[in-house]
Structure 1
């Protein structure tokens, strides 16, 4: 059985997992320190993580969401996303935003299937914020696609 819990301040970040979704340790540490880092555990092992960061009184962003490689393609990503939306609703947020690269085709499909709509495009975000080029699915990751979900009460 899988359970989610808030990572406590004294616990180390599951950095290896977090860096799979965001290769900048500096950025990961910054938003984890300012947000809520939720880990998913199964039989005592961390199988995934997501991080929520308040952008305003009404909007929270999912800054990182990753499933351990050995648990991928089994529906856990959707479960994590649904859990993050539930958490946002319980914390009183109206909107949940998530950003992903233009080359993250599977993530773009998943987010839209879960009710997110494309909200904005931050052109050349990855070129500005990461020193090394990022490639995924044979496509250079240049632009941040920002999606938004409206929480229903």
Structure 2
């Protein structure tokens, strides 16, 4: 069972940087430059999407721990009412918790949130260089519907079987 708790804005920024920089140390040349650009863009996007920090309307930003209080990771979602979908801005599983099924559990929470809010779609952007994340999203039923230079735009129907 995962327990949800609030977190400060500074910790969210750390999650954003950690998620985007995953695997950076193994890159060089053009790939490393592209990933560094992604990190910078992700932090800029965070600031744009949260003009009122953690109090920004329609955003849910939570950290998750297990029954023993061990930090598992975090989720940041935003309801996009005008377009009627849930945007997954961040999913992060701490490095020491990876490979234990927590990514799937967090994705299930995202789909559950969208369903509870009466939304039919969940959308997200995934940096192409983050192959582990793209793989997780595909396993969870997301498809690529648009491609940019450095990232994929993906979506999933909430009631998909």
Whether the aligned pair in 1 keeps the contact of 2:146 and 2:152 (CA below 8 Å) is yes
Whether the aligned pair in 2 keeps the contact of 1:115 and 1:149 (CA below 8 Å) is yes
Post-superposition shift, 1:46?
3.0
Q: Does 1:99 align with 2:106?
A: no
- CA gap of 1:49–1:29, structure 2 versus 1, over 3 A, is farther
Q: Which residue of 1 aligns with 2:3?
A: 3
Alignment TM-score, normalising by the size of structure 1 = 0.74
Long gaps (5+) in structure 2: 21-38
Q: How many residues align?
A: 130
- CA gap of 1:26–1:103, structure 2 versus 1, over 3 A, is closer
Cα RMSD (Å)? 2.1
Q: In the TM superposition, what whole-angstrom CA distance separates every residue of 1:22-77 from its partner, at most 9, and x where no partner exists?
A: 43444334435331102211223432101001233411110011011111111111
Structure with greater strand percent: 1
Q: In the TM superposition, what whole-angstrom CA distance separates every residue of 1:78-114 from its partner, at most 9, and x where no partner exists?
A: 1111111111111121110011111221211111111
- CA gap of 1:51–1:147, structure 2 versus 1, over 3 A, is same
Q: Does 1:85 align with 2:135?
A: no
Give the SS at the match of 2:123. Answer: strand
Select 1:110's aligned residue among 131, 136, 142. 136
Long gaps (5+) in structure 1: 124-142
- Structure-to-structure mapping, 1:2-151, within 5 angstroms: 2-5=2-5, 7=6, 11-13=7-9, 14=11, 15-22=13-20, 23=39, 24-32=42-50, 33=53, 34=56, 35-42=59-66, 43-57=68-82, 58-123=84-149, 143-151=150-158
Taking the aligned partners of 1:26 and 1:120, their CA distance within structure 2 comes to: 21
